[in-house]
A and B are shown apart, each in its own frame.
Chain A
Amino acid sequence: DAGVTQSPTHLIKTRGQQVTLRCSPKSGHDTVSWYQQALGQGPQFIFQYYEEEERQRGNFPDRFSGHQFPNYSSELNVNALLLGDSALYLCASSLFTGGIAKNIQYFGAGTRLSVL
């Protein structure tokens, strides 16, 4: 049973460029969340997708956008990259239930983005 997979594992971009990160959820999961983890910090919530719609968003600018596909996989897009966007980007998947706050989020190993 495959867990949450993310690609690529590492990425180097320059300021002003655009980047797309990909996530495949754990088998049987239908909800994907994205987090940004800066060096020495805890992960920060970017947004969550369910039924191909953004359901909740954290305090991130519109340069951060996402998409969920019918097979539940997801992409995170960041436009106009800044040096401060350098971080580990984590994807987490979960299964929607009625008590959604209790749905356990399973994390991938992340994509390390370096912006030069």
Chain B
Amino acid sequence: AQSVTQPDIHITVSEGASLELRCNYSYGATPYLFWYVQSPGQGLQLLLKYFSGDTLVQGIKGFEAEFKRSQSSFNLRKPSVHWSDAAEYFCAVVPLMNYGGATNKLIFGTGTLLAVQP
């Protein structure tokens, strides 16, 4: 079945430590890929996106993500986490249709809640 999976529901890291949040998708064709962050009481903010080309994409707030076609993954990374990074992170896709077109909707994973220890 088509899906977006974020296997880690909750992750705790120490401030200054590195971070990797996992995302796997299951679609016939590589979809467009996104990472969003949601802070309490806030809407979703786009961190970065991948459409095609260079498989390592840079985003805002020092985040990057790497697309790996062989693993159907789009993992989010940050070399040094700050306390302000504590939030919920969502991986999302826009599926491409078999005929080469695209849908208009974002399909989200269930999210990973990041806690940062001082």
Contact = CB atoms under 8 A, between A and B. Distances in A.
B3 to A, nearest CB: 11
B107 A109 contact: no
Given A42-B111, A43-B108, A48-B104, A101 B44 contact: no
Contacts of A42: 4, 90, 92, 108-111
A56 interface: yes
B46 interface: yes
| Band of interface residues on B | 20 to 34
A56 B106 CA distance: 12
A33 interface: yes
Nearest to A91: B43
Interface in B84-98: 90, 92, 94, 96
A110 B104 contact: no
B106 A109 contact: no
A25 interface: no
Contact of B104 (A55, A90, A104, A106): A55
B32 A102 contact: yes
A100 B107 contact: no
A58 interface: yes
B43 A101 contact: no
B21 to A, nearest CB: 13
A114 interface: no
B110 A40 contact: yes
Nearest to B94: A101
Interface in B11-66: 32, 36, 41-46, 49, 51
B69 interface: no
A89 to B, nearest CB: 11
Contact of B41 (A45, A90, A109): A109
